[in-house]
Structure 1
Amino acid sequence: MDTLVIVVIITALAFDFTNGFHDTANAMATSIATKALRPRVAVAISAVLNLAGAFLSVQVAKTISSGLVDDAKITPAVIFGGLVGAILWNLLTWLVGLPSSSSHALFGGLIGATWIAAGGDAVNFATVVTKVIIPAIASPLIAGVVAATGTFLLYNITRRAAKGKVRAGFRHGQVVSASLVSLAHGANDAQKTMGVITLVLITAGVLGADSGPPLWVIFTSGLAIALGTYFGGWRIIRTVGHRLTKIEPQQGFAAETSAATVILASSNLGYPLSTTQVTSGAVIGSGVGKKLSEVKWGVAGRIAIAWGLTLPAAAAIGALAGRVAISGTAGVIIVAAVLVALAATFYLLSRRNKVDRHNVNDEPVASPKSKSKPSVASRYAR
């Protein structure tokens, strides 16, 4: 393998890492919010199960490596540009605490970079519509309806039981349901990086067309997403666990179980779902199932806007990065330098309003001495 291929593989694993900490909330936000699991224990369990889930299936990986774009018309530099678009969008939405879709960031980045480098004919739009757009619309709605129904039934079934025993019982149940979501997340999201690395190897001539991911690709992809998960995307955990609706153990159990069911079923069918959208839809559904007015629709609306912006925004960034990267070695170096500089900037900005395992369940308190407008990050996180 030449140097560029190695650089792109490393970048793909870096995206996988950001996918892990960006999407930790998918599995563990509700369990942390209800105190069913301590924050550090929750992310540790999630990390292990993400790694295990990576070995369950390769159908999603094949969709990405052989169905999304025409591998005969692109180069590793194009894929590098797409990955940069996905990573930067992940970091930006993490900074402001928005549970946007890492999956759609990846798809958008690849589509934008491919389109600018090889034209629209190199993008398989039929696959994009049937396996990305339609599932993106349907999956959170399905998960929301299932979670709403489940929550309604659970509250009615247990309404005469002692509240303390009910809450304790469902907290134990959440350990199982959250673990299932973590397993499902590894089965679906780790495969996306597997598919990208396989696509790189195909375009570089290392693997034949329509090849599946080798074992080392499966393992490294699973390990990267597991490490990212362990670091914990605390900002997004706070948003999903507290800002959408007040979560009780019954709701958390219903939301997690419905999300896991939808994600695992879709993984076996080769649909690269946004686990973020599925989980957020399930959390909103659990609020609707308990009491419609308890859903914070303003926050839900901002999240929905981010969902709509993710694919085109990542596509625009990916197109720009891809256009520079395909110009040659100097272009790749420039794009890599910009990526590192912006990533460092986002990290330093995050330190101004630090969210970690110690304060993830705390509500932010406005300073009485300051009447200035809240920062972008705090506005979105509320």
Structure 2
Amino acid sequence: MVKQTLDKDLDRIEKIGTEAMHSSARYKALALAVLFLLIVWAFSASVTTAGEHSTLIIIAAIIGGYMALNIGANDVANNVGPAVGSRALTMFGALVIAAVFEAAGAILAGGDVVNTIQKGIINPASMQNSEVFIWAMLSALFAAALWVNIATWVGAPVSTTHAVVGGVMGAGIAAAGFSIVDWGTMSAIAASWIISPVMGGVIAALFLAFIKYNVIYKEDKVSASRRWVPLLVAIMAGVFSAYLVTKGLKRIWRPDLVTVIAISLAFFAGTYAIVKPIIHRTSKGMENRNKSVRALFTIPLICSAALLSFAHGANDVANAVGPLAAIVETSTSGAIDAKVGIPLWVMLIGAAGLSAGLFLFGPKLIRTVGEQITKMNPMRAYCVALSAGITVLIASALGLPVSSTHIAVGAVFGVGFFREWDTERRARKLRASMRDEKIHPDSNLPATDLDQTENRPKKLVRRSQLMTIVAAWVITVPSAALLSAGIFLTVSYFAE
């Protein structure tokens, strides 16, 4: 009795100690985030010339830094989460790779001309004057950052692009009424809530099915791996070369479609020629097990995480600094210009914020995407990464406004639901075989096979995570819009 009591007390003390450590880590992260924003304050003040709107630009820079922190904490998880969940990368390794490539993508290829009204959501000419436009952009940026922060706290990976779109829409309506919004564009964005995850999930499931039926379920898995793994890796190289050229390097270089296809085919052929002998050598002496096959996907998976991070940094840094660049341009010129370039100092804030947010708050969402939706391994994570690249390319070709977050998370769910379906299908086949052969339950059939013959389907996807994430997706645009409208009206009231 005394020993049991002592064990319970020790367990309780251990739990308290663990919670205290987690609480301390959270406070430390918050303190470092505040320090980062103070650095942004000092940095923006040093590069901003004194003038009528200098204080406003500094405030906008701080809010832009806050938004960049939240994008790093939430959005980047989609690029490295599956790799971490599959154990291809450690958490620290994933953070380092993502931070380096996100910042590189933002600085080297993220300075493209940004549409300050975010893909034609509103017509800035309907604004009363430049000051109203500035306050609208400031409200939109702050509201989007707040919403992404809330979603990260809840543990839901959401689209930061949709958050910014909602923020711009809400502030625009508050400033000039519903007529300012391009409802056709908003309808296309709403449609992308369904198109993005479904397309990503279907493509990921198809690739996983191909691998299972052509490699995993074959009697000689090693021989099948030598035939198909080089082809699969070459497909990934071709897809990501096209993805990087069209999405990640668009500021530096904008090749035509024929050139992109030629580059993609060249990378496909070159990678296949290089990888085939490597896979052949690596597979020599391997055991004829699934674990051996999965190991062959580890290096391609790490490369895909790096390339996805680079392309994400090049594209989504605009969500953090696009409205900020609009505020800077409008404040200095006094004119509402539909297109502005992003100054280098603004890009630096965005790049630094992405990396800082990833390190300070990213692990929570990385675990959600990589571990808490469905179980990952290198093979499944490979399908998720490849699906993300292919879906973005298809959507870009069709002109569909899709979300990389929705695609990646949809791909994770697609992999999980395919596994559920495939497991149940095999279980039904086994049960039918047992009935046909009149095998008694007490026969020599292995215990694992007997477990699979249970009538209750095995759940391999957490439904609670599905509901939380879908709910967050659906309410992202209206929530960001309401927050933005409220902030704009409040600021306008006190400014009068």
Structure 1 pair 99–143 and aligned structure 2 pair: CA distance change class (3 A): same
Which of 308, 318, 329 aligns to 2:484? It is 318
Q: Cα deviation per residue 1:48-76 (whole Å; 9 max; x = unaligned)?
A: 11123234366683274562222331422
1:78 aligns with 2:136: yes
1:212 aligns with 2:270: no
Cα separation, 2, equivalents of 1:57 and 1:4: 24
Task: Between 309-318 and 208-217, report the one with greater CA deviation.
Answer: 208-217
In structure 2, the residue matched to 1:226 is 355
Cα separation, 1, equivalents of 2:493 and 2:384: 47
Tell me how large the CA RMSD over aligned residues is: 2.6
Contact kept, 8 Å, 2:112 with 2:341, in 1: the verdict is no
Task: Tell me the CA shift for residue 26 of structure 1.
Answer: 0.6
1:68 aligns with 2:68: no
Contact kept, 8 Å, 2:113 with 2:341, in 1: the verdict is no
Which of 258, 269, 273 aligns to 2:387? It is 258
Contact kept, 8 Å, 1:68 with 1:123, in 2: the verdict is yes
Contact kept, 8 Å, 1:9 with 1:200, in 2: the verdict is no
Residue 246 of structure 1 aligns to a residue in which SS? coil
Structure 1 pair 185–266 and aligned structure 2 pair: CA distance change class (3 A): farther
Which of 465, 468, 472 aligns to 1:306? It is 472
Could you tell me which amino acid in structure 1 is paired with residue 389 of structure 2? A
Contact kept, 8 Å, 1:60 with 1:191, in 2: the verdict is no
Task: Between 226-235 and 34-43, report the one with greater CA deviation.
Answer: 226-235
Task: Tell me the CA shift for residue 39 of structure 1.
Answer: 0.4
1:32 aligns with 2:84: yes
Q: Cα deviation per residue 1:213-250 (whole Å; 9 max; x = unaligned)?
A: 23413443233223322334222222212221111211
Task: Tell me the CA shift for residue 253 of structure 1.
Answer: 0.6
Task: Tell me the CA shift for residue 29 of structure 1.
Answer: 1.0
Could you tell me which amino acid in structure 2 is paired with residue 141 of structure 1? V
TM-score by length of 2: 0.61
Task: Tell me the CA shift for residue 166 of structure 1.
Answer: 1.2
Describe how 1:121-140 pairs up with structure 2 within 5 A: 121-130=179-188, 132-140=189-197
Structure 1 pair 58–271 and aligned structure 2 pair: CA distance change class (3 A): farther
Could you tell me which runs of 5 or more consecutive residues in structure 2 were left unpaired when the two chains were aligned.
Answer: 1-52, 222-288, 422-458
Aligned length in residues: 329
Which of 183, 193, 215 aligns to 2:320? It is 193
In structure 2, the residue matched to 1:15 is 67
Q: Cα deviation per residue 1:357-376 (whole Å; 9 max; x = unaligned)?
A: xxxxxxxxxxxxxxxxxxxx
Task: Tell me the CA shift for residue 201 of structure 1.
Answer: 3.2
Cα separation, 2, equivalents of 1:61 and 1:174: 31
Contact kept, 8 Å, 2:84 with 2:94, in 1: the verdict is yes
Could you tell me which amino acid in structure 1 is paired with residue 468 of structure 2? R
Structure 1 pair 83–263 and aligned structure 2 pair: CA distance change class (3 A): same
1:171 aligns with 2:298: yes
Contact kept, 8 Å, 1:16 with 1:224, in 2: the verdict is yes
Residue 114 of structure 2 aligns to a residue in which SS? helix
Describe how 1:263-342 pairs up with structure 2 within 5 A: 263=392, 273-292=402-421, 293-328=459-494
Describe how 1:105-184 pairs up with structure 2 within 5 A: 105-130=163-188, 132-159=189-216, 160=218, 161=221, 162-184=289-311
Identity, in percent, stands at 30
Structure 1 pair 198–266 and aligned structure 2 pair: CA distance change class (3 A): farther
Cα separation, 2, equivalents of 1:212 and 1:265: 28
Cα separation, 2, equivalents of 1:119 and 1:167: 55
Cα separation, 2, equivalents of 1:127 and 1:286: 31
In structure 2, the residue matched to 1:374 is none
Structure 1 pair 106–42 and aligned structure 2 pair: CA distance change class (3 A): same
Task: Tell me the CA shift for residue 309 of structure 1.
Answer: 1.2
Cα separation, 1, equivalents of 2:183 and 2:462: 35
Cα separation, 2, equivalents of 1:257 and 1:274: 15
In structure 2, the residue matched to 1:364 is none
Cα separation, 2, equivalents of 1:275 and 1:151: 20
Residue 285 of structure 1 aligns to a residue in which SS? helix
Cα separation, 2, equivalents of 1:40 and 1:323: 43
Task: Tell me the CA shift for residue 269 of structure 1.
Answer: 8.5
Cα separation, 2, equivalents of 1:175 and 1:241: 14
Could you tell me which amino acid in structure 2 is paired with residue 303 of structure 1? I
Contact kept, 8 Å, 1:79 with 1:322, in 2: the verdict is no
Q: Cα deviation per residue 1:262-321 (whole Å; 9 max; x = unaligned)?
A: 346657988664322111101111123333342223321221111111111121111111
Contact kept, 8 Å, 1:93 with 1:99, in 2: the verdict is yes
Q: Cα deviation per residue 1:1-39 (whole Å; 9 max; x = unaligned)?
A: 431133123212311221111123211111111111110
In structure 1, the residue matched to 2:378 is 249
Could you tell me which runs of 5 or more consecutive residues in structure 1 were left unpaired when the two chains were aligned.
Answer: 332-382
Which protein has the larger Cα radius of gyration, Structure 1 or Structure 2? 2
Structure 1 pair 235–115 and aligned structure 2 pair: CA distance change class (3 A): same
Contact kept, 8 Å, 2:204 with 2:411, in 1: the verdict is yes
Structure 1 pair 258–187 and aligned structure 2 pair: CA distance change class (3 A): farther
Cα separation, 1, equivalents of 2:173 and 2:464: 35
Structure 1 pair 6–269 and aligned structure 2 pair: CA distance change class (3 A): farther
Task: Tell me the CA shift for residue 115 of structure 1.
Answer: 0.9
Contact kept, 8 Å, 1:29 with 1:238, in 2: the verdict is yes
Cα separation, 2, equivalents of 1:201 and 1:188: 20
In structure 1, the residue matched to 2:147 is 89
Structure 1 pair 320–219 and aligned structure 2 pair: CA distance change class (3 A): same
Cα separation, 1, equivalents of 2:322 and 2:181: 16
Cα separation, 2, equivalents of 1:105 and 1:326: 22
Could you tell me which amino acid in structure 1 is paired with residue 212 of structure 2? Y
Q: Cα deviation per residue 1:70-127 (whole Å; 9 max; x = unaligned)?
A: 2331422222222222122212221121112222222212211221122112222223
Contact kept, 8 Å, 2:113 with 2:339, in 1: the verdict is no
Contact kept, 8 Å, 1:83 with 1:109, in 2: the verdict is yes
Structure 1 pair 314–65 and aligned structure 2 pair: CA distance change class (3 A): closer
